[in-house]
């Protein structure tokens, strides 16, 4: 159970009322293909420069620890313009090197707390070297074809989902919700649980 203050979003979450389309979530039109095989896919759309994403991250971390076995979770970093594409490449480089769990939150902190731009490859490599990653290994991965391809694919994905703000969450290619829709970060988890259950039921039909 999540202990939270009495705010409108939590009052709704505790009320037990049914989800309302276009209020608590919106349908994805057309539905998008899942990349998680037979599992229910939950996608987090985020930006490293987004303060709301940074504050949402620890809330999501707790939620992810209790995901059912039939649910797969992945992130899609967003860049609204070409200037911030390096932030997208940072995320996929962390994934390629197996350093996401260790350094994801530290990138948020570097950009938003320490006010580092993290836009130039050399600056990014210096930061990662300070975190214990070999500089050459980082730059090789950062500049690799595979990371570039995944960064390009990320742009296609968030546009297909018609994401217009972060953080946003998608469930099984069919539904999008966000803390701004649910009323709070914690209430959004209740919406997510409900949408996961809805997707599970629909898959059985």
The domain that holds 162 is classified in CATH as: 3.40.30.10
Q: What is the pLDDT of residue 68?
A: 95
67 assigned to some structural domain: yes
CB 180 within 8 A of CB 8: no
In a domain, 1, yes or no: no
Task: From residue 50, give the alpha-carbon distance in Å to each of 54, 67, 79, 114, 178.
Answer: 7, 25, 11, 14, 14
Whether residue 5 lies inside any domain: the answer is no
Segments of the chain assigned E as strands? 26-27, 40-46, 71-77, 168-171, 175-177
Domain membership of residue 66 (yes or no) is yes
Cα angle for residues 35, 149, 99 (degrees, 5° grid): 75
Q: Return the closest-CA partner of residue 74 out of 153, 20, 127, 128.
A: 153
Q: Kindly state whether residue 10 falls inside one of the protein's structural domains.
A: no
Q: In what order do the strands lie in the sheet with 168-171?
A: 26-27, 175-177, 168-171, 40-46, 71-77
Cβ atoms of 18 and 205 within 8 Å: the answer is: no
pLDDT at 7: 41
Domain range enclosing 189:
23-203
Residue 186 lies in a domain: yes
pLDDT score of 155: 98
Q: How many domains does the chain have?
A: 1
Phi, psi of 6 (to 5 degrees): -80, 95
96 inside domain: yes
Q: What pLDDT does residue 1 have?
A: 29
The pLDDT assigned to 169 comes to 99
In which residue ranges of the chain is pLDDT below 70? 1-17
How far, CA to CA in Å, does 144 sit from each of 5, 92, 150, 164, 199? 46, 10, 10, 28, 36
What pLDDT was estimated at residue 22?
83
* DSSP-derived secondary structure letter, 166: S
Q: What is the pLDDT of residue 40?
A: 97
Cβ atoms within 10 Å, residue 180: 15
At 177 the pLDDT is 98
Within a domain: 194: yes
Q: Which pLDDT value is given to residue 16?
A: 62
């Amino acid at each position: 159970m999540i202990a939270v203050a009495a705010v409108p979003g939590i009052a709704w979450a505790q009320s037990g009322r049914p989800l309302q389309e276009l209020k608590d979530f919106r349908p994805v039109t057309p539905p998008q293909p899942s990349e998680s095989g037979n599992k229910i896919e939950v996608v987090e759309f985020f930006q490293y420069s987004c303060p709301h994403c940074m504050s949402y991250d620890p809330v999501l971390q707790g939620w992810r620890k209790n995901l059912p076995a039939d649910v797969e979770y992945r992130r899609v970093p967003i860049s609204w313009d070409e200037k911030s594409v390096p932030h997208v490449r940072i995320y996929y480089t962390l994934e390629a090197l197996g350093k996401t769990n260790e350094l994801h939150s530290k990138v948020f902190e570097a950009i938003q707390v320490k006010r580092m731009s993290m836009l130039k490859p050399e600056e990014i490599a210096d930061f990662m070297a300070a975190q214990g990653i070999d500089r050459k290994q980082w730059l090789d991965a950062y500049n690799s074809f595979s990371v570039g391809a995944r960064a390009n694919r990320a742009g296609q994905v968030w546009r297909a989902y018609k994401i217009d703000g972060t953080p946003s969450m998608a469930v099984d290619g069919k539904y999008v919700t966000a803390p701004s829709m649910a009323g709070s970060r914690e209430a959004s988890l209740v919406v997510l649980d409900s949408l996961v259950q809805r997707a599970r039921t629909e898959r059985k039909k």
